Chain A
Amino acid sequence: MAFFSTLGTGVLGGSNSPRPNAVEPQSESFLPITTLTTADFKQKNGRGLVELNEAIDHEAQILTRTLTHLGSGYIFDVVQYSLREIMRNVFEHSGSLNLHYCAQYWPSTKTVELIISDCGMGIYNSLVLNPSFKNLAPRDALHFACLPGVSGNAEAMRERASPNPWRNSGYGLYMTSRLCRNDGDFLVISSDKALSLNHSGKSDFSIQNLRGTLIRLHLKLHEVETLRSALARYTVEGKTISEDIRGAKVLEASAASQMLRRDFLKAGKSLS
Protein backbone atom coordinates (compact mmCIF):
# COMPACT_ATOMS: atom_id res chain seq x y z
CA MET A 1 0.00 0.00 0.00
CA ALA A 2 3.10 2.21 -0.12
CA PHE A 3 2.25 3.39 3.36
CA PHE A 4 5.72 4.40 4.42
CA SER A 5 6.63 6.03 1.15
CA THR A 6 3.64 8.27 1.78
CA LEU A 7 5.04 9.28 5.12
CA GLY A 8 8.48 9.92 3.68
CA THR A 9 11.37 7.60 3.02
CA GLY A 10 13.49 9.22 5.71
CA VAL A 11 11.59 7.45 8.43
CA LEU A 12 12.58 3.96 7.35
CA GLY A 13 15.17 1.99 9.16
CA GLY A 14 17.76 1.75 6.40
CA SER A 15 18.35 0.32 2.98
CA ASN A 16 17.98 -3.29 4.17
CA SER A 17 14.52 -2.67 5.54
CA PRO A 18 11.79 -5.10 4.60
CA ARG A 19 8.94 -3.59 2.62
CA PRO A 20 6.22 -2.77 5.10
CA ASN A 21 2.67 -2.99 3.90
CA ALA A 22 3.87 -4.37 0.62
CA VAL A 23 1.01 -5.99 -1.22
CA GLU A 24 1.39 -9.72 -1.61
CA PRO A 25 2.70 -10.82 -5.02
CA GLN A 26 -0.55 -12.51 -5.98
CA SER A 27 -2.57 -9.42 -5.25
CA GLU A 28 -1.63 -6.24 -7.02
CA SER A 29 -5.14 -4.86 -7.10
CA PHE A 30 -4.55 -1.71 -5.13
CA LEU A 31 -4.07 1.99 -5.48
CA PRO A 32 -1.39 3.34 -3.13
CA ILE A 33 -2.01 6.40 -1.02
CA THR A 34 -1.83 9.17 -3.58
CA THR A 35 -2.47 12.90 -3.65
CA LEU A 36 -4.39 14.57 -6.45
CA THR A 37 -4.66 18.32 -6.84
CA THR A 38 -6.91 20.46 -9.01
CA ALA A 39 -3.70 21.60 -10.69
CA ASP A 40 -3.09 17.99 -11.78
CA PHE A 41 -6.41 17.99 -13.61
CA LYS A 42 -5.98 21.43 -15.11
CA GLN A 43 -2.62 20.46 -16.49
CA LYS A 44 -4.22 17.50 -18.18
CA ASN A 45 -7.14 19.03 -20.01
CA GLY A 46 -9.34 21.42 -18.08
CA ARG A 47 -9.68 25.07 -17.25
CA GLY A 48 -13.18 25.50 -15.78
CA LEU A 49 -15.60 23.51 -13.64
CA VAL A 50 -17.08 21.50 -16.50
CA GLU A 51 -13.65 20.61 -17.74
CA LEU A 52 -12.55 19.73 -14.19
CA ASN A 53 -15.46 17.33 -13.79
CA GLU A 54 -14.70 15.71 -17.11
CA ALA A 55 -11.07 15.39 -16.11
CA ILE A 56 -12.11 13.79 -12.82
CA ASP A 57 -14.33 11.38 -14.69
CA HIS A 58 -11.46 10.43 -16.95
CA GLU A 59 -9.06 10.04 -14.02
CA ALA A 60 -11.57 7.82 -12.22
CA GLN A 61 -11.72 5.62 -15.28
CA ILE A 62 -7.94 5.21 -15.36
CA LEU A 63 -7.74 4.52 -11.63
CA THR A 64 -10.55 1.96 -11.78
CA ARG A 65 -8.84 0.09 -14.61
CA THR A 66 -5.60 0.06 -12.61
CA LEU A 67 -7.35 -1.16 -9.50
CA THR A 68 -9.64 -3.82 -10.93
CA HIS A 69 -7.81 -4.77 -14.14
CA LEU A 70 -11.22 -4.47 -15.77
CA GLY A 71 -12.38 -2.12 -18.52
CA SER A 72 -16.13 -2.62 -18.34
CA GLY A 73 -18.90 -4.43 -16.50
CA TYR A 74 -20.73 -3.96 -13.24
CA ILE A 75 -17.68 -3.87 -10.95
CA PHE A 76 -15.88 -1.42 -13.19
CA ASP A 77 -18.96 0.81 -13.45
CA VAL A 78 -19.62 0.94 -9.70
CA VAL A 79 -16.02 1.68 -8.74
CA GLN A 80 -15.54 4.30 -11.47
CA TYR A 81 -18.82 5.98 -10.59
CA SER A 82 -18.09 6.00 -6.84
CA LEU A 83 -14.58 7.37 -7.26
CA ARG A 84 -15.82 10.10 -9.57
CA GLU A 85 -18.68 11.23 -7.37
CA ILE A 86 -16.63 11.41 -4.16
CA MET A 87 -13.76 13.23 -5.89
CA ARG A 88 -16.21 15.70 -7.41
CA ASN A 89 -17.65 16.32 -3.96
CA VAL A 90 -14.24 17.18 -2.53
CA PHE A 91 -13.46 19.81 -5.14
CA GLU A 92 -16.99 21.25 -5.25
CA HIS A 93 -17.63 21.53 -1.52
CA SER A 94 -14.57 21.18 0.71
CA GLY A 95 -12.59 24.19 -0.46
CA SER A 96 -9.55 21.93 -0.56
CA LEU A 97 -7.32 22.03 -3.62
CA ASN A 98 -6.18 18.46 -3.13
CA LEU A 99 -7.39 15.08 -1.99
CA HIS A 100 -5.82 11.79 -0.98
CA TYR A 101 -7.05 8.40 -2.07
CA CYS A 102 -6.18 4.76 -1.78
CA ALA A 103 -8.03 1.56 -2.57
CA GLN A 104 -7.82 -2.20 -2.64
CA TYR A 105 -9.78 -4.75 -4.64
CA TRP A 106 -10.19 -8.37 -3.60
CA PRO A 107 -11.28 -10.25 -6.75
CA SER A 108 -12.10 -13.50 -4.95
CA THR A 109 -14.79 -11.84 -2.84
CA LYS A 110 -15.60 -9.06 -5.32
CA THR A 111 -14.97 -6.54 -2.59
CA VAL A 112 -13.55 -3.05 -2.92
CA GLU A 113 -12.38 -0.71 -0.19
CA LEU A 114 -12.00 2.84 -1.38
CA ILE A 115 -10.90 5.74 0.82
CA ILE A 116 -10.81 9.41 -0.07
CA SER A 117 -9.79 12.17 2.30
CA ASP A 118 -9.26 15.89 2.20
CA CYS A 119 -8.21 18.59 4.64
CA GLY A 120 -10.90 21.04 3.65
CA MET A 121 -13.62 22.77 5.65
CA GLY A 122 -15.54 19.59 6.49
CA ILE A 123 -19.10 18.61 5.69
CA TYR A 124 -20.67 20.59 8.52
CA ASN A 125 -19.00 23.87 7.55
CA SER A 126 -19.90 23.28 3.92
CA LEU A 127 -23.53 22.41 4.54
CA VAL A 128 -24.27 25.37 6.80
CA LEU A 129 -23.31 27.69 3.94
CA ASN A 130 -26.76 26.82 2.61
CA PRO A 131 -29.21 29.01 4.57
CA SER A 132 -31.66 26.11 4.69
CA PHE A 133 -29.22 24.16 6.84
CA LYS A 134 -27.54 26.93 8.83
CA ASN A 135 -28.92 25.71 12.16
CA LEU A 136 -27.80 22.11 11.81
CA ALA A 137 -25.63 20.57 14.52
CA PRO A 138 -22.39 18.91 13.32
CA ARG A 139 -23.77 15.44 13.97
CA ASP A 140 -26.98 16.15 12.07
CA ALA A 141 -25.02 17.62 9.20
CA LEU A 142 -23.44 14.25 8.46
CA HIS A 143 -26.84 12.55 8.46
CA PHE A 144 -28.29 15.22 6.20
CA ALA A 145 -25.37 15.13 3.80
CA CYS A 146 -26.13 11.49 3.03
CA LEU A 147 -29.72 12.28 2.11
CA PRO A 148 -30.85 13.10 -1.43
CA GLY A 149 -31.20 16.69 -2.57
CA VAL A 150 -29.05 18.11 0.23
CA SER A 151 -26.11 20.35 -0.62
CA GLY A 152 -24.23 23.28 0.84
CA ASN A 153 -24.31 25.02 -2.51
CA ALA A 154 -27.75 26.61 -2.52
CA GLU A 155 -27.06 28.71 -5.58
CA ALA A 156 -26.02 25.79 -7.73
CA MET A 157 -29.08 23.85 -6.67
CA ARG A 158 -31.33 26.59 -7.99
CA GLU A 159 -30.15 25.76 -11.50
CA ARG A 160 -33.11 23.48 -12.02
CA ALA A 161 -33.23 23.99 -15.76
CA SER A 162 -29.50 24.00 -16.28
CA PRO A 163 -28.41 21.82 -19.19
CA ASN A 164 -25.10 21.27 -17.40
CA PRO A 165 -24.95 17.52 -16.68
CA TRP A 166 -22.52 18.27 -13.84
CA ARG A 167 -24.82 20.67 -12.00
CA ASN A 168 -24.95 20.19 -8.25
CA SER A 169 -28.02 18.22 -7.25
CA GLY A 170 -27.00 17.07 -3.77
CA TYR A 171 -27.06 13.39 -4.73
CA GLY A 172 -23.36 12.50 -4.66
CA LEU A 173 -23.07 11.11 -1.13
CA TYR A 174 -26.58 9.71 -1.24
CA MET A 175 -25.95 7.64 -4.36
CA THR A 176 -22.55 6.35 -3.28
CA SER A 177 -23.69 5.53 0.24
CA ARG A 178 -26.74 3.81 -1.21
CA LEU A 179 -24.53 1.60 -3.37
CA CYS A 180 -22.44 0.68 -0.33
CA ARG A 181 -25.48 -0.15 1.76
CA ASN A 182 -26.47 -3.02 -0.51
CA ASP A 183 -24.12 -5.40 1.20
CA GLY A 184 -21.14 -3.38 2.33
CA ASP A 185 -20.91 -0.22 4.38
CA PHE A 186 -20.23 3.48 4.11
CA LEU A 187 -18.28 5.49 6.66
CA VAL A 188 -17.84 9.24 6.72
CA ILE A 189 -15.79 11.11 9.33
CA SER A 190 -15.87 14.89 9.33
CA SER A 191 -15.77 17.74 11.82
CA ASP A 192 -15.10 15.40 14.76
CA LYS A 193 -18.18 13.34 13.94
CA ALA A 194 -18.50 9.99 12.22
CA LEU A 195 -21.42 8.19 10.61
CA SER A 196 -21.51 4.59 9.49
CA LEU A 197 -24.25 3.24 7.22
CA ASN A 198 -24.96 -0.33 6.20
CA HIS A 199 -27.94 -2.42 5.11
CA SER A 200 -29.16 -2.84 8.68
CA GLY A 201 -29.02 0.77 9.75
CA LYS A 202 -26.69 3.51 10.88
CA SER A 203 -24.51 4.38 13.84
CA ASP A 204 -22.54 7.44 14.75
CA PHE A 205 -19.79 8.42 17.15
CA SER A 206 -17.38 11.25 17.88
CA ILE A 207 -13.71 11.35 17.11
CA GLN A 208 -11.23 13.80 18.53
CA ASN A 209 -9.38 16.39 16.54
CA LEU A 210 -9.90 15.15 13.00
CA ARG A 211 -9.29 17.67 10.28
CA GLY A 212 -11.26 17.72 7.02
CA THR A 213 -13.19 14.70 5.83
CA LEU A 214 -12.41 11.04 5.42
CA ILE A 215 -14.76 8.71 3.54
CA ARG A 216 -14.57 4.94 3.27
CA LEU A 217 -16.62 2.99 0.78
CA HIS A 218 -16.75 -0.74 1.39
CA LEU A 219 -18.45 -2.25 -1.64
CA LYS A 220 -19.52 -5.86 -2.04
CA LEU A 221 -20.00 -6.09 -5.76
CA HIS A 222 -22.31 -9.03 -6.30
CA GLU A 223 -24.09 -8.15 -9.48
CA VAL A 224 -27.84 -8.31 -9.07
CA GLU A 225 -28.74 -5.57 -11.54
CA THR A 226 -26.92 -3.17 -13.80
CA LEU A 227 -25.55 0.00 -12.30
CA ARG A 228 -27.70 2.00 -14.66
CA SER A 229 -30.90 0.41 -13.37
CA ALA A 230 -29.73 0.71 -9.76
CA LEU A 231 -29.02 4.44 -10.17
CA ALA A 232 -32.39 4.98 -11.84
CA ARG A 233 -34.09 3.23 -8.93
CA TYR A 234 -32.15 5.25 -6.34
CA THR A 235 -33.05 8.45 -8.16
CA VAL A 236 -36.76 7.69 -7.88
CA GLU A 237 -36.34 6.69 -4.24
CA GLY A 238 -34.26 9.79 -3.58
CA LYS A 239 -36.78 12.15 -5.07
CA THR A 240 -39.48 10.72 -2.83
CA ILE A 241 -37.25 10.96 0.25
CA SER A 242 -36.20 14.54 -0.50
CA GLU A 243 -39.85 15.64 -0.51
CA ASP A 244 -39.88 15.01 3.23
CA ILE A 245 -36.63 16.83 4.02
CA ARG A 246 -37.05 20.41 5.04
CA GLY A 247 -34.60 22.51 3.06
CA ALA A 248 -33.81 19.82 0.54
CA LYS A 249 -34.42 20.52 -3.12
CA VAL A 250 -36.90 18.11 -4.63
CA LEU A 251 -34.81 17.56 -7.70
CA GLU A 252 -33.89 14.50 -9.58
CA ALA A 253 -30.24 13.65 -9.45
CA SER A 254 -28.17 15.57 -11.97
CA ALA A 255 -27.43 13.81 -15.21
CA ALA A 256 -23.91 13.17 -13.99
CA SER A 257 -25.15 11.53 -10.83
CA GLN A 258 -27.23 9.14 -12.91
CA MET A 259 -24.83 8.45 -15.69
CA LEU A 260 -21.93 6.18 -16.37
CA ARG A 261 -18.86 7.18 -18.29
CA ARG A 262 -20.03 5.42 -21.43
CA ASP A 263 -23.34 7.28 -21.29
CA PHE A 264 -21.44 10.54 -21.55
CA LEU A 265 -19.50 9.20 -24.49
CA LYS A 266 -22.73 8.16 -26.23
CA ALA A 267 -24.32 11.54 -25.51
CA GLY A 268 -21.26 13.30 -26.89
CA LYS A 269 -21.37 11.27 -30.09
CA SER A 270 -25.08 11.85 -30.64
CA LEU A 271 -24.57 15.60 -30.28
CA SER A 272 -21.62 15.80 -32.63
Chain B
Amino acid sequence: MRLTWLMFQTLDKGPVLPYTRITFPSTVSLPQLVEWNKHLWLASNELEVRIDFSNTRFFTPFAMMFIVHQLEHYRSKLKQQF
Protein backbone atom coordinates (compact mmCIF):
# COMPACT_ATOMS: atom_id res chain seq x y z
CA MET B 1 0.00 0.00 0.00
CA ARG B 2 1.17 3.47 -0.73
CA LEU B 3 -0.08 6.22 1.56
CA THR B 4 -0.41 9.81 0.48
CA TRP B 5 -1.81 12.75 2.35
CA LEU B 6 -2.61 16.16 1.05
CA MET B 7 -4.51 19.11 2.38
CA PHE B 8 -5.85 20.80 -0.72
CA GLN B 9 -8.13 19.93 -3.54
CA THR B 10 -5.15 18.61 -5.52
CA LEU B 11 -5.73 15.20 -4.11
CA ASP B 12 -7.33 13.87 -7.26
CA LYS B 13 -4.75 15.35 -9.63
CA GLY B 14 -2.18 12.63 -9.22
CA PRO B 15 -1.62 9.65 -11.52
CA VAL B 16 -4.92 8.14 -12.59
CA LEU B 17 -4.63 4.86 -10.77
CA PRO B 18 -7.23 3.29 -8.54
CA TYR B 19 -6.97 4.56 -5.00
CA THR B 20 -9.00 4.83 -1.84
CA ARG B 21 -9.70 8.31 -0.60
CA ILE B 22 -10.21 9.09 3.06
CA THR B 23 -11.61 12.47 4.00
CA PHE B 24 -12.19 13.95 7.44
CA PRO B 25 -15.19 15.99 8.49
CA SER B 26 -14.50 19.46 9.88
CA THR B 27 -14.78 18.23 13.43
CA VAL B 28 -14.13 14.76 14.59
CA SER B 29 -15.38 12.86 17.60
CA LEU B 30 -13.80 9.88 19.28
CA PRO B 31 -16.16 7.37 17.59
CA GLN B 32 -15.35 8.97 14.25
CA LEU B 33 -11.65 8.56 14.92
CA VAL B 34 -12.23 4.93 15.75
CA GLU B 35 -14.08 4.55 12.45
CA TRP B 36 -11.32 6.36 10.58
CA ASN B 37 -8.79 4.00 12.07
CA LYS B 38 -10.86 1.04 10.98
CA HIS B 39 -11.23 2.53 7.51
CA LEU B 40 -7.47 2.97 7.23
CA TRP B 41 -6.89 -0.56 8.40
CA LEU B 42 -9.33 -1.96 5.86
CA ALA B 43 -7.82 0.22 3.15
CA SER B 44 -4.39 -1.18 3.82
CA ASN B 45 -5.12 -3.85 1.22
CA GLU B 46 -5.56 -1.18 -1.42
CA LEU B 47 -2.79 -0.19 -3.76
CA GLU B 48 -2.92 3.44 -2.74
CA VAL B 49 -4.66 5.44 -0.05
CA ARG B 50 -4.92 9.23 -0.20
CA ILE B 51 -5.90 11.04 2.95
CA ASP B 52 -7.47 14.45 2.67
CA PHE B 53 -6.55 16.67 5.62
CA SER B 54 -8.10 19.85 4.28
CA ASN B 55 -10.75 19.92 7.00
CA THR B 56 -8.52 19.38 10.00
CA ARG B 57 -7.70 22.97 10.88
CA PHE B 58 -9.79 22.99 14.03
CA PHE B 59 -9.19 19.47 15.19
CA THR B 60 -8.52 18.99 18.86
CA PRO B 61 -5.00 18.15 20.03
CA PHE B 62 -6.20 14.65 20.83
CA ALA B 63 -7.55 14.04 17.34
CA MET B 64 -4.31 15.18 15.77
CA MET B 65 -2.19 13.13 18.14
CA PHE B 66 -4.32 10.07 17.48
CA ILE B 67 -3.94 10.47 13.73
CA VAL B 68 -0.19 11.03 13.95
CA HIS B 69 0.19 8.07 16.30
CA GLN B 70 -1.60 5.72 13.93
CA LEU B 71 0.02 7.02 10.76
CA GLU B 72 3.41 6.55 12.38
CA HIS B 73 2.31 3.05 13.23
CA TYR B 74 1.36 2.29 9.64
CA ARG B 75 4.48 3.98 8.36
CA SER B 76 6.77 1.82 10.44
CA LYS B 77 4.69 -1.25 9.72
CA LEU B 78 4.89 -0.76 6.00
CA LYS B 79 8.45 0.53 6.13
CA GLN B 80 7.57 3.15 3.54
CA GLN B 81 8.17 6.83 3.45
CA PHE B 82 5.22 9.04 2.78
Q: Give the interface of A toward B (CB within 8 A).
A: 1, 3-4, 6-8, 10-13, 17, 20-22, 30, 33, 100, 102-104, 113-115, 117, 119, 187, 205, 207-212, 214, 216
Separation of A20 and B71 alpha carbons in the complex (Å): 17
A216 to B37: give the CA distance in the assembly, Å.
17
- Which B residues touch A10, using CB under 8 A? 82
- Pair A113/B60 contact, Cβ less than 8 Å: yes
Cross-chain contact of B57 among A21, A100, A210 (Cβ < 8 A): A21
B53 within 8 A of A: yes
Residues of chain A within 8 A of B64, CB atoms compared: 1, 3, 21, 33, 102
Bound Cα distance from A60 to B57, whole angstroms: 27
Q: Interface majority SS on B: helix, strand, loop or mixed?
A: helix
Pairs A–B under 8 Å by Cβ, sample size 6 = A3-B64, A6-B68, A11-B5, A12-B7, A17-B8, A33-B65
| Contact indicator A11/B82 (Cβ below 8 Å) | yes
A119 to B68 CA separation, bound complex (whole angstroms): 12
CA distance A255 to B61 in the complex (A): 31
Chain B positions 1-46 with a Cβ under 8 Å from a chain A Cβ: 4-8, 10, 30, 34, 37-38, 41
Report whether B68 and A3 are in contact in the complex, using a CB–CB cutoff of 8 Å. Answer: yes
Contact A11 B6 (CB under 8 A): yes
Considering the complex, give the chain B residue whose CB is closest to the CB of A114. Answer: B61
Interface positions of B (Cβ within 8 A of A): 4-8, 10, 30, 34, 37-38, 41, 53, 56-57, 59-62, 64-73, 82
Interface of A is mostly: mixed
Whole-angstrom distance from the CB of A251 to the nearest CB of chain B? 32
Given contacts A8-B82, A119-B73, A208-B37, contact A102 B7 (CB under 8 A): no
Nearest chain A CB to B54 CB, angstrom units: 8
Q: What CA separation (Å) do A250 and B30 show in the bound complex?
A: 35
> From residue A105, how far is it (CB to closest CB) to chain B in Å?
10
Other A-B pairs, 8, CB within 8 Å; known A7-B71, A104-B61: A1-B64, A3-B64, A3-B67, A3-B68, A33-B68, A113-B61, A211-B69, A212-B69
Alpha-carbon gap, A10 to B64, bound state (A): 18
> What residues on B are CB-neighbors of A212 within 8 Å?
69
Bound: A65/B57 CA distance, A:
25
**Cβ A210 vs Cβ B82 within 8 A:** no
| A208 x B41 contact (CB < 8 A) | yes
Q: Which of B7, B8, B65 contacts A100 (CB 8 A)?
A: B65
Contact check, B68 vs A7: say whether CB atoms are below 8 A apart.
yes
Interface residue from A12, A21, A114, A205 paired with B56 (Cβ < 8 Å)? A21
Top 4 A-B pairs, shortest CB-CB distance: A115-B65, A211-B73, A3-B64, A216-B62
Minimum CB–CB distance for A211 against chain B, Å? 5
Are the CB atoms of A210 and B37 closer together than 8 Å? yes
Is the Cβ of A214 less than 8 Å from the Cβ of B69?
A: yes
When the two chains form the complex, which single residue of A1, A13, A117, A208 contacts B69, counting CB atoms closer than 8 Å?
A117
CB-CB under 8 A for A7 and B82, given A33-B65, A207-B37, A214-B69: yes
